[in-house]
Structure formats: C-alpha cells, structure tokens
Chains A and B, each alone.
Chain A
C-alpha cells in the first residue's frame, strides 16, 4: 500500500482507508435523523481527524414505491403522485409527466396552456432556488435569518399556487392536453405583482449575503466539481452549469414554447459551492425576465385541448420519454404503454438522485463541516431521491 496514493477522480489526493502508518480513522454515521441532511438521508463518513477520506451515501429511508404505484394506477391517477416526488416543485413534476404522456398519446397543447405552464414552472424555479439559498445558508451557519427571508417570499408564490390550484404544495394542476383551470385576470395581476417585486427581494437578499466575507470564505473552493466528472456522472441542472458546461434543456430541447423567449443561461467558472449558490441567484434573475415576457404576451384562448380525453384514457401501445429542465436538473418520465389504462412501465429520472452520485467525489479531502454545505448545494429532496 503506497503512502502516496493516486489522486481520486476529482483530483483530490486522499490516502487510503485503514492505513497502518497513520492513526485510527473515525467512522461516523450522519443521519437519517440529522438536522442538515435535508430529510432522511444518511452518510457513512470515514474521517481522518476532520478530513473526509470516505463517504458512503445510504438511501431508501423514504422509498414510497412511487414507480410501482404508477404501474398500478391509471395515467391520470399518477398525476397527484408526481406532486409528492419533489415536493417543493410540484408544478414542474406535473409538467414533465404531462409532456411524457402527451408524447405517448400524440396530444397537442393549446398556446395559452403552454404559456401558463411556463409561468408556473418559472415561479416554481424562483420558489425552489429561494428555498435552496435559505437552506444552504442555514447549513453554513446563518441560523434562521436567510431562511426566514426565503420562506417569506415562498409564501407569496404559494398564495398564487393556492389561488390557482386549490393547494399550496401539492398542486396537481397539469392535465394531458392543457391545464386544469384557466388563470383569471385577477390572478395574473397578482402574479405580475409578485414578479415585479421579486427583483428587489433578490437585491436585498444579495446585499445581505452574496458579498458576505464569511460566506465566501466558507464556500469558495469548497466541493469543487470538474466538468469532466459532471458530464461522466450525467449531472444536470445548476450543478452542471456551475462547472461551466452550457447545457440547459430549455435551450437544447426548446420544449413548450421556450424558443420564443429571450433569456440567458448563466454559467459558473469554478464548480465550487459558491458558484452553485451564485448560479441559482442568476437563474432567478433570468426567470424573472421569462416571467415578465410570458405575462406580457399571454395569448387568449382555451387552456385545454377540446379533443383531450381524461376519462377512459388509453394511449396506443408504445413508449415515450418526456423531460424538462426542472429547478434541480433534468426531470424525466419514461413510460411504456401496452394499450391498457395503466402504464406497463413507469420510470422517473430524478435529477437530485443522479446529482447525488458525485457527492463522495466532491467531499473527499474536505472537512466534515464542509460536507454539510456541499450536500446543501447539491439541492436534494428525499422524496425524489428515494421515490
């Protein structure tokens, strides 16, 4: 056993576990009950002093049989279950599932519904990234205050969701061929108010935090992810773009009507935790631009295709994969139909589960306290990781 081991895939030199020359290594178990594991996630960490030499994630504490239930219920009955995948972002989960089924059935969507979907998805992105920034700063030691600000803004967006869909978190709003209900002029005016005020909230939030010296010292150079590793591990979303790879499904696929919108894709340069925080802040500013355009150009018309069939829905035999750029990355649904009312196979491509696979590579050589903020910057939701 060499004293100078080969560097790990992420380029960090870490000596092997159980090296007789050095002192004892300490194995600790973080979670499933731990205040900063964002749910019931567990990490088996091996420490040399304070430095992480091995990290093994343990999943499955929230495995709720989502995919098996999806095969035993009808297509429409799976829609409320998708809300509970990533329970912060029910609107984007609904949309990804609706796209998959619409591909399967060849179902067109009216223009107004596409605009409404974009409005709701971008509001969801604002909500998710705001909450993420709050939780990340909570993890890095800013107890309470940033999270209070984040949840204050979250409540404003949740009010909009509740007014439209009847539920704060579990919206169950999209249907195959459109949206469930139309947005009233009063709702659109309220949404415009929230969107107009969001920029000043971000200014306030950034004035408090972005240039903060403690935050910079804590996050810059922490948990560096290389673009090569990110691509090889099929990491998507803000985590990938923070490494400098220009890949956004809104641009690549141009699903929905995103090709009509002018927005930029912010990219990071270092791939560290600070970049991942900044990417989210910049993406929120782009989302505000998209929302302003969408609310300005929202066309009149129906929100549901008149030929869409909800009851007795049986798509012809075949398979389809529908994906969108969710706030956490590529969320996709893969469906195989055998012509019956239930899907033959129902598979979710969860962004935060795939993004979590490179956690060990980011954490090696860092201290145990940094593992907490690296995990926070990956942005996991256990409902989606374990499904």
Chain B
C-alpha cells in the first residue's frame, strides 16, 4: 500500500500533542475501506507523484535526460514522463547542461514563467558550478547564482539513474513540506517573491553577476598551521 499517503514522520508540524488517531486505528480503518489522512499528506502525495518537467535541453546532459525518459530507464515509473514544452504547464526545471552568459537570462525568464509550486534540479557539473568549462569567459559558474536550486546532481554527464535518484530525492523533499510554517512550499509563504530579477547581458559579465538574495559566495577561512 505504498501508493496511499501515510503519516510522514515529521509531518506533525513540531507540535508535541499526541496524535488523535493511532497508527493501529488508522490501519484498522484502512482495512475497512476508510482512508483517513491529512490534507497536507494528500496534497504532497499528489504533487510529488506528478512532477512534470519542462522540455528544455541545454547541452550534453539533455541527451541523458532524454535517455532517462526512454524505454530502459523509463522516468514515467515516477510520474514525470510528461515533458511539457511550455513553462506555464511545468513544475520542474531541469537545468541540463552548461548555462552560458548569453543563455542565462532566458533560463531565468523561463523560471519566472513557471507557476508555483515549482522546483529546480541542477543536472551535471556545468549547471552546478560551470564544470569543465568554468575557466571560460562565457560560462555561468552555476545556475544557483540566480535561481534557487533544490537538487544538485553531480556528474559529467550524470547517468540517467542519477537523474532518477535526484527525482526521487526531490519527491521526498516535496513529501516533507508542510502547508504552514517555515517548511511550506515557496508559494504558500508570505515572504515569497515570485519573480527573480533577470540579469542583463552586459559588456563584460552579466549585470548583476549574481542575485544576492539567492547566492552568497562562500567565505574561505584559511587556518594557520
């Protein structure tokens, strides 16, 4: 009965009050044909099993993304085979490949066009950090400088199994979200900003080179020995 939503271990929103219905009672009700669940679990169950990706390939990783949707790896086992060409119908942006400085504004514009709740997977070394092309003058050093990334999949390119693993990790992340509180999906939070600023293709670099609300460069601390 793994396809029926069950109480998530940390879905009690941090409240210390004992559960109104115990697991045995819930199981007994289920045996009688009565499904007792929470709105939150039902909502997350539905959302996590129908993550529709945007049909958007950037570079080499896109071929492995296509391979993941083909017969051998078959991403439809996880409810994500419906690749939508329009960002208006997509839930998931798979940044599959090198984002160049010419392409970065379009990627962020696509992200802005997607309706909430939406998620982003950075697939491959280039999308995470620029990868082997990081030294290049035209390559963005990670898409997380401009948009929030939920799952990072390393590899150059990652195998299709790695993409499936990333998708399962994303599904677990969705199932762990609450309707209220700090762990709510982005669109249910009051402090959410739906639009992320689109950088301009400037004279030397993107303007601005990063979105400080999303990306803070790591501080490097040198220890004396």
**Inter-subunit contact A68/B70 (CB<8 Å):** no
Counting residue pairs across A and B whose Cβ atoms lie within 8 Å, the total is 89
Which applies to chain A's interface (DSSP): helix, strand, loop or mixed? loop
**Inter-subunit contact A40/B103 (CB<8 Å):** yes
Q: Which of A35, A62, A68, A382 has the most CB of B within 10 A?
A: A62
How many angstroms from the CA of A59 to the CA of B55 in the assembled complex?
20
Within 8 A of A (CB), among B55-83: 55-60, 62-64, 66-67, 70-72
**Inter-subunit contact B62/A39 (CB<8 Å):** yes
- The reply to whether the CB of A309 lies closer than 8 angstroms to some CB of chain B is no
Contact of A65 among B67, B70, B110, B138 (CB under 8 A): B138
Contact of B102 among A33, A60, A152, A169 (CB under 8 A): A60
Within 8 A of B (CB), among A57-97: 60-65, 68-69, 72, 80-81, 84, 87-88
**Inter-subunit contact B139/A35 (CB<8 Å):** no
Known: A39-B59, A61-B103. A72 touches B135 (CB 8 A): yes
- The reply to whether the CB of A350 lies closer than 8 angstroms to some CB of chain B is no
Residue numbers in B under 8 Å from A84 (CB-CB): 59-60, 132
Contact of B106 among A33, A63, A80, A155 (CB under 8 A): A33
How many angstroms from the CA of A34 to the CA of B103 in the assembled complex?
13
How near does chain A come to B12, taking the closest CB pair, in angstroms? 42
**Inter-subunit contact B135/A63 (CB<8 Å):** no
**Inter-subunit contact B137/A151 (CB<8 Å):** no
**Inter-subunit contact A169/B157 (CB<8 Å):** yes
**A86 to B, closest residue via Cβ:** B60
Q: Which of A34, A87, A152 has the most CB of B within 10 A?
A: A87
How near does chain A come to B57, taking the closest CB pair, in angstroms? 6
Known: A84-B132, A169-B64. A62 touches B70 (CB 8 A): no
Residue numbers in B under 8 Å from A216 (CB-CB): none
How many angstroms from the CA of A68 to the CA of B137 in the assembled complex?
9
- The reply to whether the CB of A154 lies closer than 8 angstroms to some CB of chain B is yes
Known: A40-B103, A169-B64. A152 touches B59 (CB 8 A): no
Residue numbers in B under 8 Å from A148 (CB-CB): 70-71
- The reply to whether the CB of B159 lies closer than 8 angstroms to some CB of chain A is yes
Residue numbers in B under 8 Å from A88 (CB-CB): 63
**B157 to A, closest residue via Cβ:** A169
- The reply to whether the CB of A170 lies closer than 8 angstroms to some CB of chain B is yes
Q: Which of B55, B72, B110 has the most CB of A within 10 A?
A: B72
Per-residue CB contact flags for chain B residues 135-157 toward chain A (1 = under 8 Å, else 0) read 11111000000000000000011
How near does chain B come to A130, taking the closest CB pair, in angstroms? 12
Contact of B85 among A35, A64, A65 (CB under 8 A): A35
Contact of A81 among B70, B71, B72, B132 (CB under 8 A): B132
**Inter-subunit contact A170/B102 (CB<8 Å):** no
Residue numbers in A under 8 Å from B157 (CB-CB): 87, 169-170
Give chain B's interface residue range (CB within 8 Å of chain A).
Answer: 20 to 34
- The reply to whether the CB of B44 lies closer than 8 angstroms to some CB of chain A is no
Residue numbers in A under 8 Å from B102 (CB-CB): 60-61, 63
How many angstroms from the CA of A321 to the CA of B97 in the assembled complex?
30
- The reply to whether the CB of A32 lies closer than 8 angstroms to some CB of chain B is yes
How many angstroms from the CA of A15 to the CA of B202 in the assembled complex?
38
**Inter-subunit contact B63/A155 (CB<8 Å):** no
How near does chain A come to B140, taking the closest CB pair, in angstroms? 11
**Inter-subunit contact B110/A155 (CB<8 Å):** no
Residue numbers in A under 8 Å from B72 (CB-CB): 151-152, 155
Residue numbers in B under 8 Å from A61 (CB-CB): 100, 102-103, 106
How near does chain A come to B120, taking the closest CB pair, in angstroms? 15
- The reply to whether the CB of A383 lies closer than 8 angstroms to some CB of chain B is yes
Known: A65-B133, A148-B70, A169-B157. A33 touches B63 (CB 8 A): no
Q: Which of B56, B58, B59, B66 has the most CB of A within 10 A?
A: B59
Residue numbers in B under 8 Å from A65 (CB-CB): 133, 135-139
How many angstroms from the CA of A233 to the CA of B58 in the assembled complex?
28
How near does chain B come to A121, taking the closest CB pair, in angstroms? 19
Residue numbers in B under 8 Å from A64 (CB-CB): 59, 98, 100, 133, 136, 138-139
Closest 9 CB pairs of A and B: A65-B136, A87-B60, A151-B70, A35-B85, A64-B133, A61-B103, A35-B55, A155-B72, A63-B138
Task: Provide 29 A-B residue pairs closer than 8 Å at the C-beta atoms, listed in order of the A residue.
Answer: A33-B106, A35-B85, A39-B59, A40-B57, A40-B103, A60-B102, A61-B102, A61-B106, A62-B58, A62-B100, A64-B139, A65-B137, A69-B133, A69-B136, A72-B135, A84-B59, A87-B60, A87-B157, A88-B63, A147-B70, A151-B71, A152-B71, A154-B67, A168-B64, A169-B63, A169-B64, A170-B60, A170-B157, A382-B59
